């Protein structure tokens, strides 16, 4: 599975729990397509956000679900609570086989980087070399990494789980000190960087 979407709902203060309950219910409808990989709410960074990551077997399946979602009028049952909705399309990094679900968090750091117009290929090459040593048992896993196929491009998105925020800081510091991260030449390709810390919903396959 190579085709994904990230739906980000901005919801009113203190309504993220109700919104996620609606999302869980909506995703069980028989006409909903795609596979759920994650549902999270933001804890640090932009607040009052609920993110839903889904994957599709084909571009056609993703487009069909997109049109169903938009024409339904109440996207994933969240309209009552949301103030904004954003949908971003992504493709999995070519060297990754897929996404393995399970309990790796509960803290998930979602990072989005804007890349120089000519820098995507170099970025992917650098990551292909750097990810294997960065994701050994000595450090921490990579939940997923994607490049965007719509909106502001080129850009990449990557998702890292940590058991604690202290673990996150310790591992990130150590990977730099050990020379295994960032990818060789990677920082030279980047224009802007954004990060949000998310916590998973109870029904999230990545938790």
**What is the tens place of the pLDDT at every residue in 57-112?**
999 999 999 999 999 999 999 999 999 999 999 999 999 999 999 999 999 999 99
pLDDT digits (tens, 9 = 90+) for 171-191: 999 999 999 999 999 999 999
Mean pLDDT calculated for residue range 8-28: 98
Cα-Cα-Cα-Cα torsion 46, 107, 153, 116, nearest 10 degrees, comes to 100
Instruction: Kindly report the length of the chain.
Output: 207
Contact 24, 79 (CB under 8 A): no
Whole-number pLDDT of residue 186: 94
Q: What is the pLDDT of residues 31-57, one digit of tens each?
A: 999 999 999 999 999 999 999 999 999
Q: What is the pLDDT confidence band of residue 113, given thresholds at 50, 70 and 90?
A: very high
Indicate the average pLDDT of the chain. Answer: 97
Query: Please, are residues 185 and 150 in contact by the beta-carbon 8 Å criterion?
Result: no
Instruction: Assign 164 a pLDDT band (cuts: 50, 70, 90).
Output: very high
pLDDT value of position 168: 98
Beta strands in the chain (DSSP E): 3-11, 35-44, 49-56, 82-92, 107-115, 144-148, 155-162, 190-200
> What's the rounded Cα separation, in Å, for the pair 166 and 86?
31
List of domains in the chain:
3-92 (3.30.70.100), 107-200 (3.30.70.100)
The dihedrals phi and psi of 38, each to the nearest 5 degrees, come to: -160, 145
Q: For residue 127, report the phi and psi dihedrals to the nearest 5 degrees.
A: -65, -40
pTM of the model: 0.97
């Amino acid at each position: 599975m190579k085709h994904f979407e990230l739906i980000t709902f901005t919801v009113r203060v203190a309504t993220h729990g109700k919104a996620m309950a609606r999302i869980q219910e909506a995703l069980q409808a028989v006409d909903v397509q795609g596979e759920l990989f994650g549902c999270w709410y933001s804890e640090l960074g932009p607040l009052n956000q609920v993110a839903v990551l889904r994957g599709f077997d084909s571009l056609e399946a993703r487009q069909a679900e997109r049109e169903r979602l938009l024409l339904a009028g109440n996207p994933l049952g969240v309209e009552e609570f949301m103030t904004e909705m954003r949908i971003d399309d992504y493709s999995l990094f070519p060297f990754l086989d897929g996404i393995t679900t399970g309990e790796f968090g509960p803290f998930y750091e979602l990072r989005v980087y804007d890349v120089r117009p000519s820098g995507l290929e170099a970025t992917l090459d650098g990551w292909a070399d750097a990810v294997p040593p960065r994701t050994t048992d000595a450090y921490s896993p990579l939940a997923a990494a994607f490049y965007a196929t719509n909106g502001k491009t080129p850009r990449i998105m990557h998702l890292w789980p940590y058991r604690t925020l202290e673990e996150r800081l310790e591992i990130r510091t150590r990977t730099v000190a050990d020379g295994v991260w960032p990818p060789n030449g990677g920082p030279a390709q980047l224009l802007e960087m954004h990060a949000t810390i998310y916590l998973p919903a109870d029904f999230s396959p990545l938790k």
